[in-house]
A and B are shown apart, each in its own frame.
Chain A
């Protein structure tokens, strides 16, 4: 049972480039989340989804887009990367509400 799997684990982008981070869960969880973690800022919610085909904005959604076409996958896209998006990105899932988190191992993204 893999749990929550994030790909890639590391990535370096140039300013203005685009990329997609993939999160996959095999626990049949309804809810999925994307967080970013920055020193001194803690974990901040970017976007989340409460079911297949749904998405919603979190605390810091600007510059990111998401899609949940399949229940097991939650994609985070950066259309035009900026240095301010340098961070560690975590995906999480929860079976329902109230939420409890099962987290992936993270993606370390550097934008130069």
Chain B
């Protein structure tokens, strides 16, 4: 069974700081890994999708890396801003079927002005 763990569960940083969010998964036979952002009371917005053949994917101040062999991914946020405050979730296909996504419980990020 695929299990996804995100550490830390919550993180509070001052504005301008660079930060790293971690995601680990138990079954390394994945096709891709996706990072999402969820604002309070809202749905999930896809931030980055890394294919299994890639090691990194970048979008603006966000950089996601994937190490399949160790079952880990990191989301790096550069020069954090208060508008980055949200819950960040990672998800991988699996859990007995490649039709569906298995999610971590998320990291709640607060960026203080």
Contact = CB atoms under 8 A, between A and B. Distances in A.
A57 to B, nearest CB: 11
A102 B91 CA distance: 12
A50 B99 contact: yes
Contacts of B95: 45, 59
A105 interface: yes
Contacts of B49: 100
A103 B99 contact: no
Contact of A43 (B34, B98, B103): B103
Contacts of B91: 101
In this complex, the interface size class of chain B, counting residues with CB under 8 Å from chain A, is: 20 to 34
A48 B99 contact: yes
A48 B95 CA distance: 13
B43 A97 contact: no
Contact of A98 (B32, B46, B89, B106): B32
Interface string B85-108: 000010101010011110111100
A66 B42 CA distance: 23
Contact of A106 (B42, B89, B99): B42
B32 A100 contact: yes
Interface in A15-58: 31, 33, 40-43, 45, 48, 50, 56, 58
Contacts of B36: 101, 103
A56 to B, nearest CB: 8
A58 B43 contact: no
Interface centre among A31, A43, A56, A108 (most CB of B within 10 A): A43
Contact of A97 (B34, B41, B99, B106): B99
Nearest to B6: A42
Contacts of B10: none
Nearest to A3: B43
14 contacts: A42-B89, A42-B103, A43-B103, A45-B95, A59-B95, A98-B98, A99-B99, A99-B100, A99-B101, A101-B34, A101-B46, A103-B45, A103-B46, A106-B41
